[in-house]
Structures are given as C-alpha cells and as structure tokens.
Structure 1
Amino acid sequence: MARIDVDLENRFKFFFMCMGCSIRGFQQFCRPVICIDASHLKGKYLGSLFIAVAKDGNNQIYPLAFGIGHKEGLDTWTPFLTYLRMCIGDLPDLAIISDRHHSIIAAVANVMPHARHGFCNFHIKGNMRSQFKNTKHIEGLFWRAAKAYRLTDFQAAMNRIARVNPAATTYLTDIGYDRWARAHFGGWRYNIMTTNIAESFNALTRTARALPITILVEFLRSTLQHWFFNRRNMAGQRSHPLTPWAEDKLARHVFKFANMIVKPINMQQYEVHDSRQQVFIVNLLYRTCDCGKFQRSQIPCAHAAAIARYNNLSDCVGWVSTYYSTEYLRRVYEEDINPLGDQSTWAPSNLPVIFPPVMEQRRSGCPSSYARRPSQGEEVRQQYCS
C-alpha cells in the first residue's frame, strides 16, 4: 500500500508506504507488538521519517510501514497511524510502544483506541535523569520494577525507590504503572520494553535521510528486499524447531533448574522449590507459573524446565509459543519483495503532477551532521576524555 496526501494546491503533504508481505507476515506470524518512532530528515526537505517496526521470532527488526511528512505533530502521526490501521486491521491484543511525545499519545488514543499503549523505558529513564539529581543509584531499581513479572517484585522495587528518592516515585506513579511496568501492563509486551528496535532502524537510515525523498524510499524498499532474502535462506537451512534466539533463551532457563525440587500436584500442576526456598506453582495446561515469566514471555521459565526434567522429557520445546518457531520464521519471510524495475518500463500514469511543499528555511550555520537528536526531556550525556 502506498498513499500520497496533498493539500488544496496539490502540494505534497504526507507519504505512506508499507509492503503487503510485511503486513501479512506480521498479522499471522509475529507477536502483536509495534514500536513507532520518528527521525529528522537531513536533506532540503526538513521533514521527518515515521516508522513502525515489530520483531520476528528471532528477535530481529521486522519493518512494517514508513511515512514521510513534516515535523512530528498530531497532523502527521494521525495519518500515519490511520493508514497503518487500515493495513493491519484491529488485531486483538495489539500493543503500541513509543516515547511520550504528546502527539503520539493523542494519535494512538484517537486512531487505535483498542490497542494497549506502553512507553519506552529508556526514554523514561532519561527523563528522570534530566528532572532529578543523583538518580544513577536508582536506575537499577527502576529497571527491576519495569521488567518485573510479578506485582510483588514490582512493589518491592518501588518501595526501595520511594525510600531513596520520593520525588522519582511520584514521577513514575503519575506516568501510570500500566504504561511502563510489565507487571501492570494490561496486554502483552513480551520482552519489548523500549523502542530500541525503532531507533536502531533510524540509525541504519541516518545517511539515507540526507538523500532526496524518492531515493530514500527506494533505499527502504531495497533494505527490506535484502533482509527478506537473507533471513529466508537462514530459516530454510535451520533444522532446530526453535529460532536461534528462542533456543538460546530456553537453554539459559534450562541451565537454572539444576537445584530445583519438583513435587507433583496432579498431571498438569506442579509445586517447584528453587534454591532460595521460594515455592512456585506451575500449570502446564494453561502454561502459567507463579513467577509470571512463563505466561508473559510465552517461553518456559526455569521452573517449567525443571518439570520437564522431572518427567524425563527430552525438552520443553512444545511449551514454547509458535511465535518463536522456525516454521513461523520461514513463513514470515516466505514472500518476495520485488524491485520496481527501470523507470522506462513503467506504465504511463494519468495522475496529476504533485508539487513540492513550501520549504522551511534552513537555519544558517553548519548543519548538525547525522547525530541523533534527543527526545524532549532526555538528558544529553557529555563525554570527557580521561
């Protein structure tokens, strides 16, 4: 799908593009979590590149859609999310992860009210640094609270933050626990706690963002063509039922069960004692554990792995979500992304000529090269030589 919006004078206003194979792959074979972000263009048109990316079962960046318009605002995020929703539909359990830009919050609430909207914890941490002094000693506690699977673990971390820095606790409470804490999140954000995958893709395009718009769009399409080909070949050569990332994740959980004691309750429920004398109830029928990790990550936790050993099972691959299967990885990249071919072979178009937008005057002085611009409220670290 591709759309170009123009104003009343037929001047360029907004461009949207997504590949049908990306959308179909996401709808059927990817976790329903989308990260959105925007980055500044560096060429004559001082607009922004808007992106929506997900993760495949191998935890790799899976681009979904791109948009080009002027600076971030409600009038640019709204069409981008509107067209994205037209492509993916109203997916159940959809989660949107972004920074706390006011226009993103408003656009998601207006366009995708059915989706759970979570915030990037990296940006929240940066905002805490800029607002409060001496927060470095509570950053570990913040991440512990954000990544906690259980409400009790979350509350324990928050209590420690409150004793050290009450103002930071108030700040995090005002944001809303359901926006940034995994234990309170109303939907499923799996292991996606930041928008780093979106920012990583922005870093990939930093040179291309200085090019003319048409060349930038071709760069995006060509990148997806290259990724789909290489990842399709990798998945086709793999014999293990899980993706490399999921296989490694499960192996680390298996390594942790060595000292655990398993006591069966019935054929589906088990009582597991870990090395710290904590007790967890695991339900294999519903794939849940009191630790919260089994159901929220949909990969067996160490307690479930201990049950597999107790029952003399060769492995617990069957308890892993199909999102992390090699079969799904093959299916998500099974379609081709085709080039446009030489322009001389294109069919003639009767569409009216689209005029360029009224250009914003570039500020005088040396341009800011390709350095990433921090988000609003994010602290900029000054590096000093030792």
Structure 2
Amino acid sequence: MVQHCNKDSIIDLETDGDGVFRYYFLALGASIHGFLSSGRPVIVVDATHLKGKFKGVMFVGVTKDGNEQVFPLAMGLGDKENDRSWSWFFTRLRRAFGVPNNLLFVSDQHLSIKNAIEAVFPRIHHCLCTYHLQKNLARYGANTVAVFQRAANSYKREQYDLHGGQLALVCDKGAYTKLMDLQPSRWACSHSTVRRYNFMTSNCSEVFNGRLRWGRRLPVCTLFEFVRTLIAHWFQERRGKALSRSHTLTERAALKLDILVEEGRTMEVNPINEFKFTVSSSDRSYVVDLRAMSCSCHQFDLDLIPCPHAAVAAIL
C-alpha cells in the first residue's frame, strides 16, 4: 500500500507492546498541499465505527474546497473513541498540517474531542456543530429550533442578543442553561473568536463517512487503498473540471454570486469612494468596503464571501 502513495503522503502506524498495530493514520500529499496552499483553515472531525473483522473506530478530518465540495484531509483507525485515540489522531494531524493561522475545528460534543484539542492544539478555537445542538432542542418544538438557528447564525451581536433573548423564553430552562454552559463562542457565529467561514455544521464529515460506508467493512490495508483511490479519483475529476472553466470563480461560487446579486437588485447603491459604498435596503443602510472585504452587516467580514450588499456594490 505504501508504494502506491504520493511521495509527500503520510502513513503512520503505531504498535502496542506486543508489536500489534494499534493505530493507523493516512494523509495524502495532495490533501496537505491543497489545504495549506488555498484551503480555508477549518477542519471538521468525526468518528464512526468499522463493520469488518477489525472492530475499531475510523477518525476523519475533512474540509470543503472552493466549490463547496468535501475535501478529505486525513483519516485514522484506532481501537476505541476515547481521549487517547483522539489525542493520537490530532497529534498526527498537527505533524501533517501544522497549525495554520486562524485554524478552527468543528465537531459534535464528544468530550474526548474537546479534551484532545485542548491537549494537542492549545488556544485553537473549537466550535460545535449547530445541527447536533438543534437536534437536542427538537423535543421542545419547531419554534425553539427556529429561534436557536436564528441566534446561532446571527452575524451581529445585537441580532444574537435579540434572538438569544427569545430563546431563553421559549426553551426549557435546563436545556437553555446547558446551551449557555457550552459557551456561545463555540456555537454562535457572532461570538466566534475566529472566522467560521459558514462552517456551522459537521455535515461534510458525515457525507464523507457515508461515502465510506461500504469501505468500512474491508480489511485495514484494503480500506486505506480504497480511500486513497477514491480521493485520487475525486481530485483528478475536479482538476479536469476546473481546467475546463474560463471563469476564475468556481462553479458554485459563480452561482452563489449570481443569487446574491439578484437578491440585491432592489437595493440602492451610492458610492462613497472607489472602494466604499452605502447600500440601502427597505429597512436600513449598510457600508461596504470592497478593498477591506467588509460590510457593516458583518457577514462579509466573517465568511469572506460577499453578502448581498457587497455583491451588488461590486457590480456597480
């Protein structure tokens, strides 16, 4: 299996005292290069159980590329999902990818993930998947979930305060207390200490795990080769599509920009100078600075993806 991998790929094996392999780690060179050269510094991590003879756990770290497609970074195999296994996986992640500026991890609430990140990546921000949080609130009704979503997805603190206040009224007191104990900085966009780039859920890791459902029944070495072949196929296919495009934007980015521009058609745009604009909608005005990639709605600032105000100002 090793001889088929790119020269920059990392395959790491660890044995126990009896010489039996305990942990396996794989990170392809293409994944490392793509993430460090042009990827958003967000790693979504998750784990799922194997179904074959090796009854262990598969750990994955993924992100999304510029076309909003799943971009696999690394995978590992261990015996259990505990502090030791997650710490081993994060240690290998750090060796392979380093600590990029403004790095962010997104995951579910598994305590071992939190403990491992604090041990291996101290002072690196760790956000929680809002989908998993809202599932815990579903028992209190659709209105509670809707209010939570508005609070979590708010870009401005005053918007969060409004929806957060409503959440305190409609949510069960015990559930609300637990939510606050998790700290809004870990689940509310407006409170995050680093950019989340709209990575509000761990959905991309779930998608990757789902794609590997059949492969999780394979022997370990065959599973690694299956993952390597799958990722290589994805990257080759995407490279071909990218080279065939005449537009500098990816297909999804161009489509999203068209949608944003259409949303802003009814807005009034007034230039302040070459880069700054006042954009007025029906209820309020916003200041857009294209050079600073900023808008007073804060969405452009936090996602680095144009909001409707910035998109309509850019085409003026």
TM-score by length of 1: 0.77
Instruction: Note the alpha carbon deviations across 1:100-143, whole angstroms, 9 max, x for none.
Output: 111100000110114211011111112234xxx43322111111
Instruction: Work out whether residues 41 and 104 of structure 2, in 8 Å CA contact, stay in contact via their aligned partners in 1.
Output: yes
CA displacement at 1:302 relative to structure 2:
1.5
Instruction: Note the alpha carbon deviations across 1:120-168, whole angstroms, 9 max, x for none.
Output: 1111112234xxx433221111111111111122121111112222524
Q: Which runs of 5+ in 1 are unaligned?
A: 311-386
2:182 matched to 1:142? no
| Residue identity in the other structure for 1:255 | E
Q: Percent identity?
A: 39
CA displacement at 1:270 relative to structure 2:
2.4
Alignment match, 2:290: 284
CA displacement at 1:249 relative to structure 2:
1.1
SS of corresponding position for 2:229: helix
Alignment match, 1:161: 167
Alignment match, 1:204: 211
Alignment match, 1:187: 194
Larger radius of gyration: 1
- CA distance, structure 1, for counterparts of residue 273 and residue 179 of structure 2: 42
Instruction: Work out whether residues 137 and 144 of structure 2, in 8 Å CA contact, stay in contact via their aligned partners in 1.
Output: no
CA displacement at 1:72 relative to structure 2:
0.3
Alignment match, 1:299: 305
| Residue identity in the other structure for 2:32 | I
Alignment match, 1:379: none
- CA distance, structure 2, for counterparts of residue 264 and residue 166 of structure 1: 47
Report the count of equivalent residues: 306
- CA distance, structure 1, for counterparts of residue 252 and residue 61 of structure 2: 22
Alignment match, 1:330: none
Alignment match, 2:43: 34
Alignment match, 1:261: 268
SS of corresponding position for 2:92: helix
SS of corresponding position for 1:183: helix
Alignment match, 2:229: 222
Q: Give the counterpart of 2:34 among 25, 30, 38.
A: 25
- CA distance, structure 2, for counterparts of residue 309 and residue 189 of structure 1: 26
Instruction: Work out whether residues 24 and 77 of structure 2, in 8 Å CA contact, stay in contact via their aligned partners in 1.
Output: yes
- CA distance, structure 2, for counterparts of residue 201 and residue 214 of structure 1: 19
CA displacement at 1:243 relative to structure 2:
0.4
Alignment match, 2:182: 175
Mapping 1:7-26, distance limit 5 Å? 7-26=16-35
- CA distance, structure 2, for counterparts of residue 88 and residue 8 of structure 1: 28
2:84 matched to 1:84? no
- CA distance, structure 2, for counterparts of residue 169 and residue 68 of structure 1: 36
Higher RCO, 1 vs 2 (CA within 8 Å, ≥6 residues apart): 1
Alignment match, 1:376: none
- CA distance, structure 1, for counterparts of residue 208 and residue 266 of structure 2: 41
| Residue identity in the other structure for 2:22 | K
TM-score by length of 2: 0.93
SS of corresponding position for 1:76: helix
Q: Which runs of 5+ in 2 are unaligned?
A: 1-9
Instruction: Work out whether residues 90 and 114 of structure 1, in 8 Å CA contact, stay in contact via their aligned partners in 2.
Output: no
Alignment match, 1:127: 136
Alignment match, 2:4: none
- CA distance, structure 2, for counterparts of residue 71 and residue 293 of structure 1: 39
2:78 matched to 1:72? no
Mapping 1:315-354, distance limit 5 Å? none
Instruction: Work out whether residues 137 and 145 of structure 2, in 8 Å CA contact, stay in contact via their aligned partners in 1.
Output: no
- CA distance, structure 2, for counterparts of residue 284 and residue 209 of structure 1: 46
CA displacement at 1:21 relative to structure 2:
1.6
CA displacement at 1:24 relative to structure 2:
1.0
Structure with more of its chain in helix, by fraction: 2
